[in-house]
C-alpha cells in the first residue's frame, strides 16, 4: 500500500510539473525575449549605478496578464555594456513585487534575483528616460522547484533524525529508569480500563503500555519533543509482541490512529502565529481545536477497531469512498454533532467553568511537565535502589540507534511529499476535491490547509500564515485554518517515522484509518467554526 502511495506522490508531482512547464513554454507565460516598456527615473554617467524603473499597471497587465494594484516602482542596478550600448540589469525581488516576478526569480536558483537587459530610449521632459526591458529567459520553473524541493527535503529528513538523537537519548534513558523501578507498571495499572479497551492484545503489565500512555499524555500537553521518543519506544515494545514481523499489528494501528488525530489541549504554535498576526483573541481556537481533534480521535479509534475486524486495503477504501462518499461524510458529521453536544455541555455554562483559568492551568502543567517527569522518575528510581546513572546510560544508548534507523524512511516520505507539493499536484488535487467540499459549504480558501496538514507540518504552517495574512486572524477563514492546524497531525510523517523505526512495510489499514481521522478532524473543525464564527 505504502509503495503505491509513495509512487503516486512522486509520479503525479513530476508529471504535473512537466505538464505545467510545457504549457508555460507554449504560451510564453514569462514573455521570454519580448521587450517590456518601462521608464527609468534617472541615468547616471557611470559604469554601474542604482536607479528606479516605473511600469504602469495597465502596461504590466497587458504584458503579463497579471493585475497589480498600482503603478510599479522597483529599485534596480544598471551596468553599462560597451558593445551595444545597452545596460545589464540586476534586481532584488521584494515581498511586494508582482507574483510573476517572484516565480521568475525562483527559477534562477536564488529566491530574489532577476537579471536582464535594458535598452535606452529617448529622454522625457521631466528627466526620466523611456526604455525597454528584456529579462533573461525563464524555463522549466516547476521542474527546478521539484529539484530544489528534493534536495531541501533530503536535508530536512536528516536534520530531523539527527535532531532526535539527543532527545531520544534523554527520554529513553528516563524511561529505562521508570521501567526498572516499576513506575511504568504503576502508571499502567492506573489507566488499565482504558488501555484494555484500546489495546486488548497487549498484556497490561507490558512496557509498551507505559510508553504509549506517556506518548499520548505528552502529545496532549503539546510536548512533541518528549512525545516522539515515547512513541518510538512504544513501537519498539509493540514489535516485540509482533509474531508477523514487518506487518503492522492491531495495537500499532490503534496507537497511531490516536497519534495522527493530534489531540492537543493547547495548540501553542497556531496561537503564537495568530498573536503575531495581530489577533484580538489568539486563544479562541483552543476550544475549536480540541473539538476537531476529538472528532478525529473518535473516528480514528472507531475505524481502527472496525477495520481490524473487516480488513480493507487502501485501493478498496478509495473505491468505497468514491461510491459512498455522501454516506461516509454523513456518518462523520453525525459523530461530530454527537461530540459537539458533549462539548457544548461541558463549555456552555461559564458560571461553572472558567475557560481562561483552564487555559492557564494547562499552560502551567505544560511548562512544568518535563522537569517534573525527570525529577519524579529519577527520585523514584533512587528510592527503589535502582542504579539510576547506569540504567539511564543503558537506555540512552538506544536513542542513537533508533534515530539513525529512521533516516531512510524519513528521506523516502519527505522527498515524495516535497515533489508532490513543488510539482503543483497539490493544486490539481484541490481542483478535483473542491466540488465535493463545496456541497457541504467548506470554503475553498481553507482547502489547501486541510490537504497539506496530513502531509507536512511546516507546509501547513506556511499555508496557515499566508491565509491569515490575507483574510485576517479573526476572520472566519483565519479561525478555520488555525483550527484545522490543531485538529490533526501530519499523518504520513507519523506513519513513516513510527513504522520505519521498527521496519514495518505492510501497514494494513493504517493509512485508511489515518485518512478517515483527518477527514473527521477537518469536518469537525469546519462544523464547530461555522457554528461559532460563521
Same domain, 96 and 187: no
- Give the end-to-end CA distance of the chain in Å, rounded to a whole number: 39
Closest to 511 in 3D by CA, of 486, 493, 491, 531: 491
Q: How far is CA 371 from CA 259, 262, 337, 368, in A?
A: 23, 23, 39, 6
pLDDT of amino acid 486: 83
Same domain, 304 and 350: yes
Could you read off the pLDDT of 153-170 as tens digits, one per residue?
A: 888 888 877 777 887 788
The mean of the pLDDT values for the chain is 83
**Domain annotation covers residue 2:** no
Could you read off the pLDDT of 347-370 as tens digits, one per residue?
A: 444 444 455 665 566 567 656 767
Same domain, 113 and 176: no
pLDDT of amino acid 352: 46
Residue 200 has pLDDT above 70, yes or no: yes
pLDDT of amino acid 332: 63
Give the C-alpha separation, 270 to 273, whole Å: 5
Residue 44 has pLDDT above 90, yes or no: no
pLDDT of amino acid 112: 77
Mean pLDDT score, 221-248: 85
pLDDT of amino acid 382: 93
**Domain annotation covers residue 11:** no
Give the C-alpha separation, 381 to 97, whole Å: 61
**Domain annotation covers residue 8:** no
pLDDT of amino acid 434: 81
pLDDT of amino acid 97: 85
Mean pLDDT score, 136-159: 87
**Domain annotation covers residue 23:** no
Same domain, 217 and 77: no
Same domain, 174 and 87: no
3-state secondary structure of 434: helix
Contact predicate 103/112, CB 8 Å: no
Count of CA atoms in the C-beta half-sphere (13 A) of 388: 15
**Domain annotation covers residue 347:** yes
Mean pLDDT score, 251-272: 85
Where is average pLDDT lowest: 193-207, 269-283, 476-490?
269-283
- pLDDT category at 313 given cuts 50, 70, 90 is low
Cell of 378: 529519577
pLDDT of amino acid 481: 93
pLDDT of amino acid 366: 57
Same domain, 170 and 293: yes
Same domain, 165 and 56: no
- pLDDT category at 77 given cuts 50, 70, 90 is very high
Among residues 108, 137, 166, the one where a domain terminates is 137
Among residues 112, 137, 162, the one where a domain terminates is 137
Mean pLDDT score, 62-90: 88
Same domain, 233 and 104: no
pLDDT of amino acid 441: 80
Mean pLDDT score, 34-57: 90
Residue 236 has pLDDT above 60, yes or no: yes
Give the C-alpha separation, 355 to 353, whole Å: 6
Mean pLDDT score, 429-438: 81
**Domain annotation covers residue 19:** no
Mean pLDDT score, 11-36: 93
Same domain, 88 and 220: no
**Domain annotation covers residue 287:** yes
Among residues 109, 137, 165, the one where a domain terminates is 137
pLDDT of amino acid 272: 78
- pLDDT category at 43 given cuts 50, 70, 90 is confident
Residue 401 has pLDDT above 80, yes or no: no
pLDDT of amino acid 416: 87
pLDDT of amino acid 29: 92
Cell of 334: 453525525
Total domains present in the chain:
2
Same domain, 470 and 516: yes
Residue 54 has pLDDT above 60, yes or no: yes
Residue 239 has pLDDT above 90, yes or no: yes
Could you read off the pLDDT of 61-74 as tens digits, one per residue?
A: 999 998 888 899 99
pLDDT of amino acid 421: 85
Contact predicate 30/138, CB 8 Å: yes
Same domain, 97 and 228: no
Looking at the chain, the whole-number percentage of residues with pLDDT higher than 90 is: 25
**Domain annotation covers residue 18:** no
Contact predicate 470/448, CB 8 Å: no
Q: Which domain holds residue 116?
A: 31-137
pLDDT of amino acid 28: 92
DSSP letter assigned to residue 69: S
Residue 275 CB partners (closer than 8 Å, separation 6+): 282
- pLDDT category at 149 given cuts 50, 70, 90 is confident
Residue 210 has pLDDT above 60, yes or no: yes
Could you read off the pLDDT of 444-498 as tens digits, one per residue?
A: 888 889 888 888 777 787 788 878 988 999 999 999 999 998 888 888 888 888 9
Same domain, 97 and 176: no
Cell of 235: 513501537
Where is average pLDDT lowest: 106-110, 150-154, 228-232?
106-110
Closest to 450 in 3D by CA, of 496, 423, 413, 485: 485
Give the C-alpha separation, 297 to 488, whole Å: 9
Looking at the chain, the whole-number percentage of residues with pLDDT higher than 70 is: 87
Residue 57 has pLDDT above 80, yes or no: yes
Amino acid at each position: 500500500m505504502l509503495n503505491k502511495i509513495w509512487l503516486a506522490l512522486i509520479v503525479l508531482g513530476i508529471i504535473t510539473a512537466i505538464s505545467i512547464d510545457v504549457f508555460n513554454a507554449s504560451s510564453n507565460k514569462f514573455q521570454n525575449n519580448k521587450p517590456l516598456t518601462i521608464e527609468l527615473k534617472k541615468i547616471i554617467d557611470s559604469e554601474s549605478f542604482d536607479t528606479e524603473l516605473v511600469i504602469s499597471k495597465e502596461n504590466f497587465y497587458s504584458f503579463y496578464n497579471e493585475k497589480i494594484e498600482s503603478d510599479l516602482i522597483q529599485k534596480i542596478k544598471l551596468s553599462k555594456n560597451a558593445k551595444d550600448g545597452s545596460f545589464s540589469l540586476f534586481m532584488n525581488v521584494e515581498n511586494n513585487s508582482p507574483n510573476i516576478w517572484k516565480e521568475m526569480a525562483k527559477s534562477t536558483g536564488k529566491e530574489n534575483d532577476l537579471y536582464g537587459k535594458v535598452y535606452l530610449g529617448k529622454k522625457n521632459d521631466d528627466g526620466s528616460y523611456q526604455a525597454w526591458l528584456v529579462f533573461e529567459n525563464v524555463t522549466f520553473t516547476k521542474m527546478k522547484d521539484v529539484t530544489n524541493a528534493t534536495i531541501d527535503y533530503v536535508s530536512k529528513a536528516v536534520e530531523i533524525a539527527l535532531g532526535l538523537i539527543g532527545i531520544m537519548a534523554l527520554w529513553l534513558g528516563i524511561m529505562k529508569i521508570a521501567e526498572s523501578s516499576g513506575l511504568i507498571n504503576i502508571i499502567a495499572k492506573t489507566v488499565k480500563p482504558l488501555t484494555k479497551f484500546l489495546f486488548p492484545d497487549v498484556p497490561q503489565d507490558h512496557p509498551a503500555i507505559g510508553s504509549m500512555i506517556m506518548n499520548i499524555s505528552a502529545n496532549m500537553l503539546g510536548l512533541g519533543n518528549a512525545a516522539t521518543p515515547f512513541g518510538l519506544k512504544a513501537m519498539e515494545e509493540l514489535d516485540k509482541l509482533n509474531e508477523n514481523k514487518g506487518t503492522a499489528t492491531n495495537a500499532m494501528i490503534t496507537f497511531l490512529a490516536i497519534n495522527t488525530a493530534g489531540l492537543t489541549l493547547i495548540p501553542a504554535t497556531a496561537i503564537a502565529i495568530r498573536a503575531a498576526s495581530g489577533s484580538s483573541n489568539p486563544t479562541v481556537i483552543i476550544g475549536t481545536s480540541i473539538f476537531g481533534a476529538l472528532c478525529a480521535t473518535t473516528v480514528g479509534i472507531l475505524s481502527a477497531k472496525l477495520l481490524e475486524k473487516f480488513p480493507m486495503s487502501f485501493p478498496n477504501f478509495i473505491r468505497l469512498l468514491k461510491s459512498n462518499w455522501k454516506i461516509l461524510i454523513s456518518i462523520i458529521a453525525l459523530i461530530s454533532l454527537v461530540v459537539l453536544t458533549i462539548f457544548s455541555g461541558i463549555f456552555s455554562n461559564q458560571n461553572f467553568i472558567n475557560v481562561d483559568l483552564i487555559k492557564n492551568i494547562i499552560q502551567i502543567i505544560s511548562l512544568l511537565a518535563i522537569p517534573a517527569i525527570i525529577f519524579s522518575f529519577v527520585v523514584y528510581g533512587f528510592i527503589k535502589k535502582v542504579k539510576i546513572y547506569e540504567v539511564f546510560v543503558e537506555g540512552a544508548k538506544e536513542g542513537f540507534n533508533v534515530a539513525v534507523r529512521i533516516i531512510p524512511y524519513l528521506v523516502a516520505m519527505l522527498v515524495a511529499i516535497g515533489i508532490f507539493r513543488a510539482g503543483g499536484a497539490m493544486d490539481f488535487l484541490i481542483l478535483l476535491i473542491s466540488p465535493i467540499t463545496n456541497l457541504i459549504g467548506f470554503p475553498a480558501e481553507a482547502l489547501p490547509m486541510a490537504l497539506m496538514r496530513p502531509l507536512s507540518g511546516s507546509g501547513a504552517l506556511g499555508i496557515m500564515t499566508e491565509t491569515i495574512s490575507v483574510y485576517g486572524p479573526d476572520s472566519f477563514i483565519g479561525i478555520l485554518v488555525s483550527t484545522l492546524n490543531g485538529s490533526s497531525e501530519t499523518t504520513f510523517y507519523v506513519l513513516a517515522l513510527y513504522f520505519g523505526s521498527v521496519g514495518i512495510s505492510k501497514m494494513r489499514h493504517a493509512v485508511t484509518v489515518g485518512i478517515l481521522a483527518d477527514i473527521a478532524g477537518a469536518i469537525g473543525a469546519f462544523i464547530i467554526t461555522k457554528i461559532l464564527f460563521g
